[in-house]
């Protein structure tokens, strides 16, 4: 990881001290996040080590999560695994807000117009963008088949840059320092000067580009979905990206997709459910 000058201990020292029941809740959430993003099966020793607690505390936490149905214990191996309860809650939340229903038509139209892979990501409060929906244009015989992960690397992916461009330069760098700056390919931008220049251009144009920065032979363009919240602040709630093979799309070809992309995110901004859950970007 490049340019991450703050050690984990220093970042942790800034967090407020919590004790008792609040600490247990926080550790339980950390445990769920750990099990979602790490390996599929966990031993009690692994959970204890990664959480930085003794086995007795880890046992109490995971036993409560098992009782609540979020975690399952295999009696034969003694290993723990996440159930689908947490993901089902997320799906029900998406269904409740009708985000997927309301956005699918616009995204499908953009995919068919461009003939490329179109994806929707939502901005989460804990400093990340998570993919929730994808469509592939019907006109192409060669399609992008990405190494599909729910989250993305912010400094290399066009969607990550699109979100960061809605933040102030200082806040964007703070987020990158907290989440990590990675060199995914030889073309990835990892220095502060290069990243901030890239984000400044994205702010000016209203969209971000990534060309073989996140994955070789793949280019992408992305734009933020912003909404005005009841408080009057404007927040980035999601991003839309269009990705294509570099054999078919040069950087200038991707830029020519910008009017269609910006039109799509403008329509999504108008229909997006309003809430106060996202990081405000500007008045």
- Domains of the chain, CATH where assigned: 16-83 (1.10.10.10), 90-282 (3.30.450.40)
pLDDT for the residue 141: 53
Which residues, in sequence order, are CB contacts of 75 under 8 Å at separation 6+? none
Q: How far apart are the C-alpha atoms of 54 and 44, rounded to whole Å? A: 10
pLDDT band at 149 (very low <50, low <70, confident <90, very high): low
pLDDT for the residue 235: 86
Q: What is the mean pLDDT of residues 254-272?
A: 93
Beta bridge partners of 240: 120, 223
- Nearest to 249, CA basis, from 213, 228, 221: 221
Whether the predicted pLDDT of 15 surpasses 60:
no
Asked whether the beta carbons of 211 and 257 are under 8 A apart, the reply is no
Q: Are strands 80-82 and 234-245 parallel, antiparallel or unpaired?
A: unpaired
Q: How far apart are the C-alpha atoms of 8 and 190, rounded to whole Å? A: 19
Is residue 166 exposed (0-12), middle (13-18) or buried (19+ Cβ within 10 Å)?
A: buried
Q: What is the DSSP letter of 182?
A: -
pLDDT for the residue 274: 59
pLDDT band at 8 (very low <50, low <70, confident <90, very high): very low
- Residue 225, SS3 per DSSP: strand
pLDDT for the residue 157: 95
pLDDT for the residue 186: 96
Percent of the chain with pLDDT over 90: 42
pLDDT band at 150 (very low <50, low <70, confident <90, very high): low
Q: How far apart are the C-alpha atoms of 25 and 61, rounded to whole Å? A: 9
Q: How far apart are the C-alpha atoms of 278 and 235, rounded to whole Å? A: 6
The residue with greater pLDDT, 54 or 137, is 54
pLDDT band at 140 (very low <50, low <70, confident <90, very high): low
Q: What is the mean pLDDT of residues 227-238?
A: 82
Whether the predicted pLDDT of 167 surpasses 90:
yes
pLDDT for the residue 283: 44
Percent of the chain with pLDDT over 70: 78
Q: Are strands 80-82 and 71-73 parallel, antiparallel or unpaired?
A: antiparallel
89-101 pLDDT tens trace: 766 666 555 566 6
Q: What is the mean pLDDT of residues 151-158?
A: 90
pLDDT for the residue 229: 73
Considering the entire predicted model, what is its pTM? 0.67
The residue with greater pLDDT, 36 or 143, is 36
């Amino acid at each position: 990881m490049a340019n991450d000058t703050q050690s984990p201990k220093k970042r942790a020292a800034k967090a407020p001290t919590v004790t008792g029941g609040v600490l247990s809740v926080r550790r339980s959430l950390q445990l769920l996040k750990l099990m979602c993003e790490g390996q599929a099966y966990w031993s009690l020793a692994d959970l204890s080590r990664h959480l930085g607690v003794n086995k007795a505390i880890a046992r109490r936490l995971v036993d409560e999560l098992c009782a609540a149905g979020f975690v399952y214990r295999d009696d034969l191996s003694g290993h723990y695994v996440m159930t689908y309860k947490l993901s089902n809650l997320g799906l029900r939340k998406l269904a409740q807000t009708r985000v997927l229903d309301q956005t699918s038509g616009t995204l499908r139209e953009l995919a068919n117009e461009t003939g490329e892979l179109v994806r929707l990501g939502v901005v989460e409060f804990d400093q990340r963008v998570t993919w929730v929906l994808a469509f592939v244009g019907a006109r192409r015989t060669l399609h992008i088949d990405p190494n599909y992960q729910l989250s993305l690397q912010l400094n290399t992916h066009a969607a990550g840059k699109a979100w960061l461009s809605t933040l102030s330069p200082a806040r964007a760098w703070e987020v990158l320092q907290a989440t990590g700056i990675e060199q995914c390919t030889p073309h990835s931008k990892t220095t502060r000067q290069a990243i901030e220049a890239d984000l400044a251009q994205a702010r000016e144009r209203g969209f971000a580009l990534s060309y073989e920065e996140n994955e070789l032979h793949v280019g992408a363009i992305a734009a933020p979905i912003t909404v005005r919240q009841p408080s009057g602040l404007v927040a980035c709630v999601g991003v839309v990206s269009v990705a294509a093979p570099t054999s078919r799309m040069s950087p200038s070809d991707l830029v020519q997709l910008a009017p269609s992309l910006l039109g799509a995110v403008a329509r999504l901004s108008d229909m997006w459910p309003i809430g106060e859950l996202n990081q405000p970007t500007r008045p």
